[in-house]
Amino acid sequence: MTDATPWTRDIPPIQGLGLMRLKDDGWGDSDRDPAVLVRTAVDAGVTLLDTAEMYGNEALVGRALGSHRDQVTLCSKFGVYWGESGRFDGWSVRADPHTVHTAIDGTLERLGVDHLDVYYLHHRSEETPIEETVAAMAELKQAGKIRHLGLSNVTVDDIRRAHAIHPIAVVQQQWSLAHREAESFLPTLAELDIALIAHSPLGHGSLTGSDDTPLVHSLARIASNRGMTTGQIALAWVHHRGNDAAATVVPLPGTSSISHLRANIDAAQLVLDSSEIEQLDAGSQIVP
């Protein structure tokens, strides 16, 4: 089964917007109003919006999206569930066909839409073979509930096995100066024409200046010379490496702040020179 339509509405966006931290208490706040955040992103061309059932804010994302639905590539994820008492007693993965079919209906209802552009398996399952999960996700596509299939937090072997059942459009993995494991995925993704959505490009905040490491010192030095923040330099590095990759790469920084969103957009336009790239690569202590 093939799909000739692109996974985005036009060309891949230069950057996505992760909405994990979007909260209801932001309404009316000049820097955190959810609807203004989405409108600012869309106006700037950041049209890939990412959430998940696990985040507990799909209804809020739907309200923030408002009339912009047809202007964005809307993505959500299923399969990861908190324990009964919340986040403090761990989480589990459910990726069986029944969960696939029930989860999508809840997601669509909460978002207030009739389909998703990309639906991800949020995390690989140790219990359900990925072939069974993907076969059920393909049924959602046949029913018109999703346009494209995605995987997150998986292995290269998972990707190949899944893709043999139904074409996978995108894979979401963490990629930053602090976590470069996703680079080993790139040859397979390029071979199979799968895009990489690089989440947490700021290393979950570890690259924004709070950690006292040689890498952060390098970031701070370059940022000072450029008149930028360390986070912007870290994000610009992911854009640089993504542009050099054979596979399509879309960085996905997450924020609920309009000012941070604008800073991230500025970082996407920053071109690092070879000396700066060498310093950052050396500081990451991982050979590409």
Please provide residue 50's backbone torsions phi and psi, each rounded to the nearest 5 degrees: -125, 125
116 lies in a domain?
Answer: yes
Buried b (16+ CB within 10 A) or exposed e, 72-81: bbbbbbbbbe
pLDDT at 91: 86
1 lies in a domain?
Answer: no
Residue 186, both tokens: 């790139």
How do residues 216-242 score in pLDDT, each as one tens digit? 989 999 999 999 999 999 999 999 999
Residue 252 β-bridge partners = 199
Residue 77 β-bridge partners = 120
Residues serving a catalytic function are 55
62 lies in a domain?
Answer: yes
114 lies in a domain?
Answer: yes
Structural domain count of the chain? 1
222 lies in a domain?
Answer: no
Least reliable range by pLDDT among 140-149, 159-168, 186-195, 279-288? 279-288
236 lies in a domain?
Answer: no
What CATH number should be reported for the domain holding residue 43? 3.20.20.100
By the 8 A CB rule, do 270 and 51 touch? no
- Whole domain around residue 128: which residue ranges? 16-206+246-270
2 lies in a domain?
Answer: no
pLDDT at 287: 41
How do residues 154-166 score in pLDDT, each as one tens digit? 999 999 999 999 9
How do residues 12-57 score in pLDDT, each as one tens digit? 788 999 999 999 999 999 999 999 999 999 999 999 999 999 999 9
157 lies in a domain?
Answer: yes
